[in-house]
Amino acid sequence: MLQTVFSRALPRLSRLSVCHYSAAAIPAPSTQPEVHYNKLFINNQWQDATSGKTFPTINPATGEVICQVAEADEADVDKAVKAARNAFRLGSPWRRMDASHRGLLLTRLADAIERDSAYLAELETLDNGKPYAVSYTVDLPNVVKCLRYYAGWADKWEGKTIPIDGDYFCYTRHEPIGVCGQIIPVGHLIQQASGGSNLKKVTLELGGKSPNIILSDANMEDAVEQSHFALFFNQGQCCCAGSRTYVQADIYDEFVERSVERAKRRVVGNPFDLKTEQGPQVDQEQFNKILGYISSGKREGAKLMCGGGVAADRGYFIQPTVFGDVQDDMTIAREEIFGPVMQILKFKNLEEVVTRANDTKYGLAAAVFTKDIDKAHYVSNGLRAGTVWINCYDVFGAQAPFGGYKASGNGRELGEYGLDNYTEVKTVTIKVPQKNS
């Protein structure tokens, strides 16, 4: 239905989900998986960059170079776009392919990924430091689920017949936009370049500073664990991380104490060790940026409860860090840290916390923990965010749309809503001859 022409990284075909796994069910990883492909994949062929340039990809656990990867530039993008447009031309084999067969091709891709899940998980962990257990039990299964979900949609994206006035038969078709490009980072720059020049259709999933609201009637043990997961999952490198934890005043002290205890128990280390909960940050730049935010928090008066430093002699490891007594105007409460730094803020009542939670340029996700269904609905209805979780966090499915309000992006990915971004609606109206009286 669409041609993805270029990406510096694999498109995020899936989202995170809460995962409880058994180490016994996970195959032992190779800590040095062989890298078979490091070139550009254009027109069904692996090839060097036109310029011959490469760049190093770094193992964040050691700081060592894994391999050199072909570095694409404008000439390579043009080549990929040309190949995709040729595949999409009117009358081409791809254009004439039955929708059901396109679905079959997606299913075959899902099967191949499932077959090689252990190897792909090893590469993921080697490249970005994510614990192998998470790569294998969360990332890869969700990629497979996502592909199979959309394989099912391939022959079901139907139009409508419309009873307009007069002697006409009117119907709609959902047709693919055509060649699409998917690029993971610098979304706001893409928006400026595309929207400001030639009205290209753009869908963006950007950053967040998501509020996680803990009411006094919440199950304390569950709220502490879920809030820990909401912030620290993937080393805190999650666009929808629960990075502003608002706790009602009468349970604040206990929640902070328990959260600090949980953070201190978090296992940081070799991402290939199945006992590891937290690996290194993705690169040196992010590592330095997070340490800078920690310094900012201390400088602006937040109370450092635990962590705050480097967690290993080499690699980009940072200690699980918790700040208490955080105020809304502090830098760590306003800007996206994208690291293992938890900020806990105190509030008194619902009206106050909803107002404070919405006082941000972002609006990607939010959560509320409570046993009171009326309070849950009140808070979820008031929050300006694309996703709101109640008594859970980071629960995703290929079937449910994901995206943000305000500066967190526009458009939606996943689910039926995600198809809207890649299709145009065509109206076809046919004159119906009438028999002469």
Point out the residues that are catalytic. 205
Pair 305, 256: CB distance under 8 Å: yes
- Measure the CA–CA gap between 237 and 286, rounded to whole angstroms: 9
- What's the first-to-final CA gap in the chain, in angstroms? 47
Instruction: Tell me how many degrees the CA angle 327-329-333 measures, rounded to the nearest 5.
Output: 70
- Measure the CA–CA gap between 152 and 150, rounded to whole angstroms: 5
- Measure the CA–CA gap between 25 and 274, rounded to whole angstroms: 11
Of residues 297, 296, 286, 183, the one with CA closest to residue 235 = 286
Residue type, 358: N
Of residues 355, 381, 337, the one with CA closest to residue 232 = 337
Question: Residue 269: which H helix or E strand, with range?
Answer: none
CA 2 from centroid of its chain's CA atoms: 20
Of residues 159, 206, 213, the one with CA closest to residue 346 = 213
Instruction: Tell me how many degrees the CA angle 19-25-27 measures, rounded to the nearest 5.
Output: 110
The residues, any chain, with a CB within 8 Å of residue 343's CB and separated by 6 or more, are 243, 244, 245, 297, 302, 323, 326, 330, 332, 333
- Measure the CA–CA gap between 291 and 40, rounded to whole angstroms: 34
Instruction: Tell me the H-state helices in 329-422.
Output: 331-334, 350-358, 373-382, 415-420
Backbone angles phi, psi at 56, to 5 degrees: -80, 140
Name beta bridge partners: 214. Answer: 247, 369
